[in-house]
């Protein structure tokens, strides 16, 4: 259990009138932890600081600076409104304003004059509704994950049985599955030619586990024969592809299912070759379904890197060379590109599967896990426990930040707002929140405006892949010239074309030597 | 002076406030609190400087607070003033003559309210 400082839910009261805030605190203070904000800017800063630690926002409309509707807009734009309910405090009865607030995602209105009981009940109900929704969401997600885990387990057991006759451990199937998933992911990044959705990738990867089920029809004498197979024995061995497909065709149920169809294609065609010289049908190029093409490549790679009765395991690099040189069949050039370009990644991921190979066989553990997590969700909601954990992490983070000799900041680009989350031990004299920091006098008194513009320009010039900016600037700290090192990271929206939304970073005083600067480079 | 006498003196509606705020202690606490609230001072100051948007916000806040505490005459006067000043919120023009007259009403109501609150027992 995470240590929690305060079991009370936190309510953020946003109102420019101290009387109004006091009245709400007086009404709610016994039951809730009330955090105050005097204006819209402080409200946004409080949510940036406390995150989902805020269970409810009570928001006034008429305020100097950013008003209630503008705060709602920020909530909507940042996606907070989905997780944090906002109840508007209102003396306004203008229908246009009420309509707009609902449009922006306000949950409800508390119309003045305040009635103590209504305020309390509405706060309780709104918080309960949201936390129940979060809890249900978590439970459904957990359930789906568990179901998927069980299905995977069944498939793993089935393929283990097939391999068991083969004298193998079942790890081959796991690794082929992992390789299939990796290759398909790289392929989908590289080209739209195969219309691979995440759903397709997961389905094909799962079906890949069944690629060798036809081998249960092959006699153990041939299957486990040490040394080379005679030509007629090899012909028998080759039938496993068509036999596996037939087994699925004759399945009394599930004929329309995509999983069965995909598994069928993989079974039948995972020994076809790109040049048309494979078996059983001699299909060529993209006549071979992409599922079977990928599994064929994964199968060959894993066969090369695994020990067999007739050969030692080849190292990753050697296996790669053999495949790319065409010594082990011919493959779709696009797939070979994927293999080549991601060779290191593939090597390390497959190693991980090998080490963790027994994880799917421990069904007792899986069942216990399902039971425990369900009991937890029913009990008091795992979701709320995660929030406790977040609160704890925040507390820990805030403590270390305060103890450091750095200023830590967050910057939101729209509306342009700088939030100093920790002043550390550096006594900068800056306020916690600065709107439009580049044009703010308190900022330009301490920093040179061109340095601020330079930092802003550099952050905007970064990309989601390379978001870090390092620079030094001169500053005037309490009347003394100081050299400061800034390291910042840009933040980007999650849209298809990510937009710059702000940054976070820290500023350290490096005037007295490089030691501090190096510690922030790490 | 008791809460009842104080509200009677200013023409407020104590019963309604008791029903909403649930305890006499809370009503008395915020009634006393109002004596040092800055909203009216801010209204006067911004009106004198003809800072209309700010004056609107102050009138609006005064209207809300006086409504919460059942200071009926002050609530009625400040609500009317807020309505007249409202265009300033979006940068529009204000009927200054009407506002001037309503400012006087608000001042009268405010003074009377404070006078009553000042004799409330501490």
Kindly give, in sequence order, each residue whose CB lies less than 8 Å from that of residue A481, ignoring residues fewer than 6 positions away.
A474, A475
**Range 94-113 of A in CB contact (< 8 A) with B:** 112-113
Task: Supply the pLDDT for residue A390.
Answer: 58
Judge: A91–B21 Cβ closer than 8 Å, yes or no.
no
**Which residues in B lie closer than 8 A to residue A117 (C-beta atoms)?**
22
Dihedral of alpha carbons B63, B68, B72, B73, sign: negative
pLDDT at A357 over 70: no
Task: Supply the pLDDT for residue A393.
Answer: 67
Q: Give yes or no for A70 touching B (CB within 8 A).
A: no
**What confidence tier does A140 reach under pLDDT thresholds 50, 70, 90?**
confident
Place of tokens 């400087």: B49
Nearest to B39 by CA among A15, A19, A13, A90: A19
Task: Supply the pLDDT for residue A102.
Answer: 92
Q: Give yes or no for A26 touching B (CB within 8 A).
A: yes
Terminal-to-terminal C-alpha distance of chain A: 32
Mean pLDDT across A474-479: 83
Runs of H (alpha helix) within B69-95:
72-85
**What confidence tier does A363 reach under pLDDT thresholds 50, 70, 90?**
very low
Least confident of A242-246, A259-263, A308-312, B2-6: A308-312
Task: Supply the pLDDT for residue A521.
Answer: 43
Say how far apart CA B94 and CA A14 lie, in whole Å.
28
Residue of A nearest to B67 (CA): A113
Judge: B60–A62 Cβ closer than 8 Å, yes or no.
yes
Judge: B68–A64 Cβ closer than 8 Å, yes or no.
no
The partner residues of A10 in beta bridges, in order of sequence, read A33, A54
Cα angle value A16/A22/A28 (rounded, 5°): 120
Which tokens in the block code for residue A490?
Answer: 């840009």
**What confidence tier does A392 reach under pLDDT thresholds 50, 70, 90?**
low
Q: Give yes or no for B87 touching A (CB within 8 A).
A: no
R_g over Cα of chain A: 31
Task: Supply the pLDDT for residue A516.
Answer: 46
Say how far apart CA B78 and CA B76 lie, in whole Å.
6
**Which residues in A lie closer than 8 A to residue B19 (C-beta atoms)?**
115
Mean pLDDT across A364-368: 36
**What confidence tier does A394 reach under pLDDT thresholds 50, 70, 90?**
low
Q: Give yes or no for A30 touching B (CB within 8 A).
A: no
pLDDT at A369 over 60: no
Query: Is the bond preceding residue A178 a cis peptide, omega within 30 degrees?
Result: no
Q: Which residue has the higher pLDDT, A435 or A28?
A: A28
Residue of B nearest to A23 (CA): B30
Least confident of A3-12, A104-113, A292-301, B86-95: A3-12
pLDDT at A377 over 70: no
The partner residues of A109 in beta bridges, in order of sequence, read A88
Residue of B nearest to A28 (CA): B21
The chain-wide mean pLDDT, for chain A, equals: 84
Say how far apart CA A306 and CA A219 lie, in whole Å.
22
Longest CA span, chain B: 45
3-state SS assignment for residue B115: helix
Helix (H) or strand (E) holding A292, with range, is helix A290-305
Number of CB atoms found within 10 A of residue A164's CB:
12
Say how far apart CA A385 and CA A103 lie, in whole Å.
31
Helix (H) or strand (E) holding A487, with range, is strand A480-492
DSSP A308: B
Interface test with B, best of A113, A115, A119, A122 (most B CBs within 10 A): A113
**Which residues in A lie closer than 8 A to residue B41 (C-beta atoms)?**
none
Judge: B30–A26 Cβ closer than 8 Å, yes or no.
yes
Kindly give, in sequence order, each residue whose CB lies less than 8 Å from that of residue A419, ignoring residues fewer than 6 positions away.
A45, A48, A49, A409, A410, A411, A412, A432, A433
| Whether the Cβ atoms of residue B30 and residue A19 lie closer than 8 Å to each other | yes
| Whether the Cβ atoms of residue A11 and residue A58 lie closer than 8 Å to each other | yes
| Whether the Cβ atoms of residue A126 and residue A87 lie closer than 8 Å to each other | yes
Helix (H) or strand (E) holding A95, with range, is helix A95-103
Say how far apart CA B40 and CA B57 lie, in whole Å.
11
Q: Give yes or no for B46 touching A (CB within 8 A).
A: no
Q: Give yes or no for A88 touching B (CB within 8 A).
A: no
Kindly give, in sequence order, each residue whose CB lies less than 8 Å from that of residue A188, ignoring residues fewer than 6 positions away.
A194, A196, A201
Helix (H) or strand (E) holding A173, with range, is helix A171-190
Q: Helix, strand, coil shares of chain B as percentages rounded to 5? A: 80, 0, 20
The pLDDT tens digits for B89-122 are 888 899 999 999 999 999 999 999 999 999 887 6
Task: Supply the pLDDT for residue A101.
Answer: 92
CA distance B61 to chain A (A): 7
**What confidence tier does A386 reach under pLDDT thresholds 50, 70, 90?**
low
Say how far apart CA A50 and CA A48 lie, in whole Å.
6
Say how far apart CA A282 and CA A343 lie, in whole Å.
29
The pLDDT tens digits for B64-96 are 999 999 999 999 999 999 999 999 988 889 999
Count of A-B CB contacts under 8 Å: 59
Say how far apart CA A478 and CA B121 lie, in whole Å.
49
Q: Give yes or no for B68 touching A (CB within 8 A).
A: yes
Which tokens in the block code for residue A68?
Answer: 């209630």
Mean pLDDT across A68-78: 92
pLDDT at A439 over 50: yes
Kindly give, in sequence order, each residue whose CB lies less than 8 Å from that of residue A515, ignoring residues fewer than 6 positions away.
none
Say how far apart CA A408 and CA A398 lie, in whole Å.
10
Nearest to B9 by CA among B105, B118, B104: B118
Kindly give, in sequence order, each residue whose CB lies less than 8 Å from that of residue A519, ignoring residues fewer than 6 positions away.
A508
Task: Supply the pLDDT for residue A38.
Answer: 93
Task: Supply the pLDDT for residue A93.
Answer: 67
- Tell me the HSE value of A47 on the side-chain side, using a 13 A CA sphere: 27
Kindly give, in sequence order, each residue whose CB lies less than 8 Å from that of residue A176, ignoring residues fewer than 6 positions away.
A208, A209, A211, A295, A298, A299, A302
3-state SS assignment for residue A9: coil
**Which residues in B lie closer than 8 A to residue A16 (C-beta atoms)?**
57, 61
Interface test with A, best of B41, B55, B64 (most A CBs within 10 A): B64
Which tokens in the block code for residue A214?
Answer: 């036809």
Judge: A91–B60 Cβ closer than 8 Å, yes or no.
yes
Helix (H) or strand (E) holding B53, with range, is helix B52-68
CA distance A62 to chain B (A): 7
Task: Supply the pLDDT for residue A158.
Answer: 80
**What confidence tier does A22 reach under pLDDT thresholds 50, 70, 90?**
very high
Task: Supply the pLDDT for residue A519.
Answer: 46
**Which residues in B lie closer than 8 A to residue A40 (C-beta atoms)?**
none
Interface test with B, best of A20, A62, A66 (most B CBs within 10 A): A62
Task: Supply the pLDDT for residue A478.
Answer: 79
Judge: A112–B67 Cβ closer than 8 Å, yes or no.
yes
CA distance B45 to chain A (A): 16
Mean pLDDT across A176-199: 92
- Helices (H) and strands (E) in chain B — how many of each? 7, 0
DSSP A416: T
**Which residues in B lie closer than 8 A to residue A62 (C-beta atoms)?**
56-57, 60-61, 89
Which tokens in the block code for residue A141?
Answer: 């997600």
Which tokens in the block code for residue A189?
Answer: 């990044």
Q: Give yes or no for B33 touching A (CB within 8 A).
A: yes
Mean pLDDT across A139-144: 84
Residue of B nearest to A26 (CA): B26
Interface test with A, best of B61, B83, B90 (most A CBs within 10 A): B61
Say how far apart CA A459 and CA A454 lie, in whole Å.
9
Task: Supply the pLDDT for residue A385.
Answer: 46
Say how far apart CA A445 and CA A326 lie, in whole Å.
67
Judge: A19–B39 Cβ closer than 8 Å, yes or no.
yes
Task: Supply the pLDDT for residue A376.
Answer: 46
Across A7-16, A171-180, B39-48, the highest mean pLDDT is recorded for B39-48
3-state SS assignment for residue A406: strand
Strands A54-60 and A33-37: unpaired
Q: Which residue has the higher pLDDT, A152 or A451?
A: A451
The pLDDT tens digits for A218-273 are 998 888 887 788 999 999 999 999 999 999 999 988 888 999 999 999 999 999 99
pLDDT at A133 over 60: yes
Task: Supply the pLDDT for residue B91.
Answer: 87
% of residues, chain A, pLDDT over 70: 87
| Whether the Cβ atoms of residue A39 and residue A16 lie closer than 8 Å to each other | yes
Residue of B nearest to A113 (CA): B68
Tell me the residue ranges of DSSP E strands in A48-107. Answer: 54-60, 86-90
Nearest to B89 by CA among B41, B51, B42: B51
Q: Give yes or no for B60 touching A (CB within 8 A).
A: yes
Longest CA span, chain A: 94
Number of CB atoms found within 10 A of residue A427's CB:
9
The pLDDT tens digits for B12-59 are 999 999 999 999 999 999 999 999 999 999 999 999 999 999 999 999
Which tokens in the block code for residue A38?
Answer: 């005097």
Nearest-by-Cβ selection for B68 from A18, A23, A63:
A23
């Amino acid at each position: 259990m995470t240590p929690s400082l305060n079991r009370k839910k936190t309510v953020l009261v946003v109102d420019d009138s101290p009387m109004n805030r006091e009245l709400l605190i007086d009404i709610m203070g016994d039951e809730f932890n009330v955090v105050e904000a005097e204006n819209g800017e402080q409200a946004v800063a409080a949510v940036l600081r406390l995150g989902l630690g805020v269970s409810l926002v009570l928001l006034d409309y008429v305020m100097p600076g950013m008003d209630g509707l503008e705060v709602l807009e920020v909530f909507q734009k940042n996606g907070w409104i989905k997780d944090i309910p906002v109840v508007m405090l209102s003396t306004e009865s203008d229908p246009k304003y009420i309509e707009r607030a609902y449009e922006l995602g306000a949950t409800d209105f508390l119309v003045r004059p305040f009635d103590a009981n209504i305020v309390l009940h509405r706060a309780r109900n709104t918080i309960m509704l949201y936390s129940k929704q979060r809890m249900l969401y978590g439970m459904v997600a957990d359930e789906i994950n568990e179901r998927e885990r069980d299905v995977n387990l069944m498939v793993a057991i089935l393929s283990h049985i097939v391999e068991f006759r083969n004298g193998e451990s079942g790890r081959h199937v796991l690794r082929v599955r992992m390789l299939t998933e990796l290759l398909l992911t790289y392929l989908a990044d590289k080209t739209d030619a195969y219309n691979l959705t995440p759903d397709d990738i997961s389905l094909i990867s799962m079906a890949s586990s069944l690629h060798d089920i036809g081998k249960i029809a092959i006699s153990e004498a041939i299957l486990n024969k040490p040394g080379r197979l005679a030509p007629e024995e090899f012909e028998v061995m080759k039938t496993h592809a068509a036999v596996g497909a037939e087994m699925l065709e004759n399945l009394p149920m599930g004929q329309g299912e995509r999983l069965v169809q995909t598994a069928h294609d993989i079974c039948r065609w995972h020994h076809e070759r790109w040049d048309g010289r494979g078996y059983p049908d001699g299909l060529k190029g993209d006549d071979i379904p992409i599922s079977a093409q990928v599994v064929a490549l994964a199968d060959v790679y894993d066969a090369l890197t695994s020990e067999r009765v007739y050969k030692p395991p080849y190292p990753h690099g050697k296996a790669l060379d053999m495949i790319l040189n065409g010594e082990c069949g011919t493959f779709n050039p696009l797939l070979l590109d994927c293999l080549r370009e991601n060779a290191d990644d593939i090597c390390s991921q497959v190693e991980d599967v090998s080490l963790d190979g027994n994880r799917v066989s421990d069904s007792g553990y899986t069942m216990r896990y399902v039971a425990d997590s369900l009991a937890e969700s029913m009990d008091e909601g795992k979701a709320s426990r995660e929030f406790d954990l977040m609160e704890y992490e925040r507390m820990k983070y805030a403590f270390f930040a305060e103890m450091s000799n750095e200023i830590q900041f967050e910057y939101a680009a729209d509306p342009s707002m700088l939030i100093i989350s920790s002043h550390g031990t550096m006594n900068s004299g800056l306020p916690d929140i600065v709107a439009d920091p580049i044009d703010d006098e308190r900022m330009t008194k301490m920093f040179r405006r061109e340095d601020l513009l330079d930092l802003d320009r550099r952050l905007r010039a970064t990309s989601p892949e390379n978001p870090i900016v390092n620079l030094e600037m001169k500053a005037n700290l309490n009347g003394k010239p100081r050299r400061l090192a800034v390291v910042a990271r840009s933040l980007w929206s999650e849209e298809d074309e990510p937009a710059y939304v702000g940054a976070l970073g820290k500023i350290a005083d490096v005037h007295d030597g490089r030691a501090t600067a190096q510690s922030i480079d790490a | 002076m008791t809460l009842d006498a104080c509200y009677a003196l200013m023409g407020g509606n104590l019963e309604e406030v008791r029903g909403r705020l649930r305890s006499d202690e809370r009503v008395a606490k915020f009634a006393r609190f109002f004596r040092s609230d800055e909203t009216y001072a801010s209204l006067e100051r911004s009106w004198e400087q003809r800072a209309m948007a700010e004056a609107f916000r102050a009138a609006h806040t005064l209207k809300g607070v006086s409504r919460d505490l059942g200071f009926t005459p002050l609530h009625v006067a400040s609500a009317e003033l807020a309505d007249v000043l409202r265009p300033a919120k979006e940068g529009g023009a204000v009927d200054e003559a009407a506002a001037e007259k309503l400012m006087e009403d608000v001042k009268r109501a405010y003074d009377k309210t404070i006078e009553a609150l000042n004799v409330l027992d501490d």
